[in-house]
Structure 1
């Protein structure tokens, strides 16, 4: 692989792997199907229960009204609870329901199983290369997040 094409090839590979994982898991996921933004919001709320809508919008790089729409949809489906923030009665805090936590836990298990099965099909050298790449990929993600937060 030429150095000049590496960034594009890496980005394409990451997007391709993520898309294929989502497609494979979507087939096995119970209804209702959740869109990517809905899943990302659920994951954020499970990780940070009590997060405000405005903070969720900032973390997800979405407009506040877009997150409010997602919150309304997920609340109707029984995955989120919106409560008044005791520190600021004008703001709402988001809490996951047990159904949301169970759905995300099941999805994580299925995702891990799928990746485990596919990685097992690779030869040892490729498996080790993937293991070695994980720290660098995490750092890349952190750098992208930090640059996105700059004013």
Structure 2
């Protein structure tokens, strides 16, 4: 496969794997279904408790008002808490609720189990090929991240 076909094939396969993993995991979900941007914000807040709305917007490459809308939705759903900033009462610090943390943890555990189960079914040759591809995929991800940072 040449450099012309590889980008499309890679994007198609990665997108397909993500979609299929999400679809399989949604089958056993309880509670309201969250959209991608909501999950991204929840993950960011769980990893950075106390992050502000503007910092979250910058990290997610979204407009501040879009993140404010997501915060309102997630707060109403009982998944985020908003507290006043220590230095500036007008600023908001975002914190995950225990329900959000439990939901993210359960999703991560189920995703890891699903992928572990499917990887265990692969041949030794496929396992070796996947392991060999990981460094290149990491470099691709780093390059994409750096490019977004400089844009």
Separation in 2, partners of 1:146, 1:4: 23
Check if 1:36 corresponds to 2:36.
yes
**SS in structure 2 at match of 1:19:** helix
Q: Which residue of 2 aligns with 1:150?
A: 150
Q: Which residue of 1 aligns with 2:70?
A: 70
Q: Which residue of 1 aligns with 2:14?
A: 14
Give the structure-1-normalised TM-score: 0.94
Deviations 1:54-105 (A, max 9, x none): 1111111111111111111111111100111113322111001111111000
Check if 1:140 corresponds to 2:128.
no
Q: Which residue of 2 aligns with 1:89?
A: 89
Deviation at 1:132, TM superposition (A): 2.6
Separation in 1, partners of 2:132, 2:99: 35
Q: Which residue of 2 aligns with 1:129?
A: 129
Deviation at 1:138, TM superposition (A): 2.4
Separation in 2, partners of 1:105, 1:3: 38
Separation in 2, partners of 1:138, 1:48: 23
**SS in structure 2 at match of 1:51:** coil
Gaps of 5+ in 1: none
Deviation at 1:115, TM superposition (A): 0.5
- RMSD value, Cα: 1.3
Give the structure-2-normalised TM-score: 0.94
Which deviates more, 102-111 or 11-20? 11-20
Separation in 2, partners of 1:142, 1:81: 31
**SS in structure 2 at match of 1:28:** coil
Aligned length: 151
